Copies of this chain bind each other. A is one copy, B any other.
Amino acid sequence: MLSIELQISLVLFFSLAGYLLSSRINQSAVVGIIIIGIIIGPSLLSIVKYSDAIEMLAHLGAIMLLFAIGLEFRIRDIYQLKYALIALAGIVVPWGAGYFLGYLFGYPFNVSMIIGVSLTATSIAITAKVLEEMKKLTAPASRAIIGAAVIDDVLGLLAMSIAVQSAKGDIAFTEIFITVMKAAVFLTAGIFAAPHIKKLFVKLDEKRLAREFPHFLFMTAIMFCFLYASIAEVIGLSAIVGAFLSGAALEGVKFKNSKDLKEGAEYLHVIFGAIFFISLGILANLRDLTFGMSAFFAALIIVAVLTKVIGCGITAKMAGFSRSESLVIGFGMSPRGEVAMIVALIGLTSKIISQEIYVAIVLMSLITTILTPVFIRKLKW
């Protein structure tokens, strides 16, 4: 067992190699880092083991990443009707198509439900990172993707709890209703609290404390981030939804005495985000994919990309976006990232799906994640 220091050093070393690779193949840093992750993981070289410590740091990395991304987004933008419509299409179309795919390949009702649900989520982390690197985070299409992806994440996790509860044979409508209500209360409270939190930060910045300890407000912000993340987890959402919300609540805050939040969040997420992305690569063991699964696997990937491109893209076009913007939105909604992996993991541990379907979903999630930056960068918009 390597010491934690050496593990971190190795992961950062290979992340740097990922940067180099990205620069050479002219791709987003995320793609390079994930590919390096696959190479050093059990799929090929088995150099780095995915230890509990690295898993925890990767989890913290995802939280810091979403916090940093949240800092770039105005909270009002997320709750526009057109984003809600795009998000809804991005849930219904993949869910239905995924279920139908499972049905075609002869899987039972519960398994097909999990396959469908795993296709609903959208991982904002990867697309947002690519958009950030392209310096297009504030473009209308980018805002639509992030806004709709946040809604999708929330709705996708709700869909998962419904699917798991139904698989257990007891669809407790009251429980589902309570989860939905808690989520609604949390998100609404977060939106209404945002301007007050911003005011509080600006007020604190003028106190002696901020002059004495210029990092005081940065630490307060990170404390908020982890508080929101833990609240999100408690009420059954993904922790990163909370982290994103806390970041969005502090968007645009400027200080006179205190250190800049965005700058600090960037330093944190560069280090821990790299650990997160390399973990995604290490986790995907290509050797687990059996030959017998190849037809299902190929179909799953095609369905995964097409349902988001068609579902979200057409809705975006109808909502007034241009043809190329709609395509960007469709492809931008395609990466399933860690959210689908979590759905697959819960399906596996609840004994609803088998090991091979689990691997197929994880790899589908990874491949859509790798393909997305390629498509988004290739499109002219």
Binding site for B on A (CB under 8 A): 2-6, 8-9, 12-13, 15-16, 19-20, 23, 29, 53, 56, 59-60, 63, 208-209, 212-213, 215-216, 218-220, 222-224, 226-227, 229-230, 233-234, 239, 242, 259, 263-264, 266-268, 270-271, 274
Residues of B within 8 A of A19 (CB): 209, 213, 216, 219
Q: Check B259–A267 contact: CB distance below 8 A.
A: yes
Give chain B residues whose Cβ lies under 8 Å from the Cβ of A63. Answer: 5
Whether A229 pairs with B5 at a CB distance below 8 angstroms is: yes
- A16 with B220, Cβ < 8 A, contacts A5-B63, A6-B230, A9-B226 known: yes
Q: Could you name 22 residue pairs across A and B whose Cβ atoms are closer than 8 Å?
A: A2-B230, A3-B230, A3-B239, A4-B56, A5-B63, A5-B233, A5-B242, A6-B226, A6-B227, A6-B230, A8-B60, A9-B229, A12-B222, A13-B227, A15-B219, A16-B219, A19-B209, A23-B212, A23-B213, A56-B56, A218-B267, A268-B268
User: Given the complex, which residues of B lie within 8 Å of A270, measured CB to CB?
Assistant: 215, 218-219
Q: This chain: how many copies in the complex?
A: 2
Q: Shortest 8 CB-CB distances between A and B: which pairs?
A: A9-B226, A12-B223, A5-B230, A6-B230, A264-B267, A215-B270, A9-B227, A5-B229
Q: Are A8 and B226 in contact (CB under 8 A)?
A: yes
CB-CB < 8 A to A234: which residues of B? 3
Partner of A23, one of B53, B209, B233, B267: B209
Q: Is the interface of A mostly helix, strand, loop or mixed?
A: helix
When chains A and B are docked, how far (Å) is the Cα of A263 from the Cα of B260?
11
Known pairs A23-B209, A209-B20; A226 contacts B5 (CB<8 A):
yes
Expressed in whole angstroms, the minimum distance between the Cβ of A207 and any Cβ of chain B is 9
Q: Is the CB of B3 within 8 A of A223?
A: no
Minimum CB distance partner of A212 in chain B: B23
Instruction: Give the distance to chain B from A55, nearest Cβ to Cβ, in Å.
Output: 11
Given contacts A4-B56, A23-B209, A219-B274, 10 further A-B contacts (CB under 8 A): A4-B60, A5-B229, A5-B233, A9-B224, A12-B220, A13-B223, A19-B216, A20-B209, A29-B213, A268-B271
- Which among A9, A56, A274 has the highest number of chain B CB atoms within 10 Å? A9
Q: Which residues of B contact A53 (CB under 8 A)?
A: 56
